[in-house]
Amino acid sequence: MPLEAFDQICHDIARAEARVCSVPGLASFGLPTKYFLREFYCTESGCDCRRVLVQFVPAAKPPRVAATINYGWEKPKFYKKWSLDPEMWREMAGASLESFGEQGPHADKFLLVFRKIILDHDLVTAFRRHYKLVKKITDVPPTPRGKSEHLS
């Protein structure tokens, strides 16, 4: 499914609601301790997958992605009926590292941090709201057959 950065779709809202996550424990690894959470959402029209892809990007340069995390906020059952794969739905609920995403050498530590910060309901509520915004913009009703050419 196509994923697009929230800051590309809703630039002003993304900017106004930018989240910086402090990870003080990373200082001992010589890593930056402040990270932006960059959100990506599915923009496939008609798809209701209810997930977000989050990248931890250092607030200071260089902005190299430290971790790419998939997060589904619904219960596993929701993804079971949605997923074509008999096993994949288990991973779709909750947070996991994205196998095809960019990962830094300490990605697993960021996953632990992420699992803690999603206990904050405000954050999850923001994901859901952003997801709805994106869907509102990218959901296109199917064009009725045979009517596409001569609409006046």
Query: Would the CA dihedral through 25, 31, 36, 39 be positive or negative?
Result: negative
**Residue range at the interface with Zn ion (CB under 5 A); choices 3-11, 39-47, 105-113, 127-135:** 39-47
Q: How far apart are CA 114 and CA 112, in angstroms?
A: 5
How many residues bind Zn ion (CB under 5 A)? The answer is: 5
Nearest approach in angstroms of CB 59 to Zn ion is: 29
> Is 47 an interacting residue with respect to Zn ion (CB under 5 A)?
yes
111 forms part of the interface with Zn ion (CB under 5 A): no
> Which H or E run includes 121?
helix 121-138
Rounded Cα–Cα distance for residues 75 and 33 (Å): 31
Quick one: which segment of 22-30, 35-43, 70-78, 90-98 binds Zn ion (CB under 5 A)? Answer: 35-43
| CB closer to Zn ion, 74 vs 106 | 74
Helix (H, G, I), strand (E, B) or coil at 146: coil
Q: Is 49 in the site for Zn ion (CB under 5 A)?
A: yes
Task: With contacts defined by CB under 5 A, name the span among 45-53, 59-67, 68-76, 109-117 that binds Zn ion.
Answer: 45-53
Name the residue with the smallest CB distance to Zn ion: 42
Residue 143 is classified by DSSP as P
Closest CA to 55 of 13, 14, 107: 107
Q: Taking contact as CB under 5 A, which single stretch among the options 2-10, 49-57, 110-118, 139-147 is the one that binds Zn ion?
A: 49-57
Nearer to Zn ion, 1 or 16 (CB): 1
- Intra-chain end-to-end CA distance of the chain, in Å: 33
Residue 106, both tokens: 């300490």
Under rule CB under 5 A, residue 42 binds Zn ion: yes
